[in-house]
Amino acid sequence: MLGERVHPNTGRLMGYVACEVRSGTAYVADAEELADLVWAAPDQLTDYILYGFAPIVQDYLTVTLQ
């Protein structure tokens, strides 16, 4: 668990988790909690994250994607 925050646009409590798929296929298991799942290259992330990342997520990505 990277951390939590109240999303600045939706007001919902968001939990941020880093994970790695080791086998199988990733899918949305609960459509009420998650609208979609996309695998994206680092240079495509801003196409999906319109309002920027939570600071804890940005820090993680900066280190991990180097």
56 within some domain: yes
The pLDDT score that the predictor gives to residue 49 is: 87
| pLDDT one-digit tens code per residue, 16-35 | 999 888 999 889 999 988 88
Domain assignment of residue 55, yes or no: yes
Instruction: Report the C-alpha gap between 45 and 60 in whole angstroms.
Output: 14
Q: Indicate left, alpha or beta for 52 from its phi (over 0: left) and psi (-120 to 50: alpha).
A: left
Residue 15 lies in a domain: yes
Q: What's the pTM?
A: 0.72
φ/ψ region of 60 (left if φ > 0, alpha if ψ in -120 to 50, else beta) reads alpha
Kindly state whether residue 47 falls inside one of the protein's structural domains: yes
Full domain range(s) for residue 44: 3-21+34-64
Residue 27 placed within a domain = no
Could you give the number of structural domains in the chain? 1
38 domain-assigned? yes
Short-list 42, 2, 39, 36, CA closest to 18: 2
Place of tokens 């925050």: 5
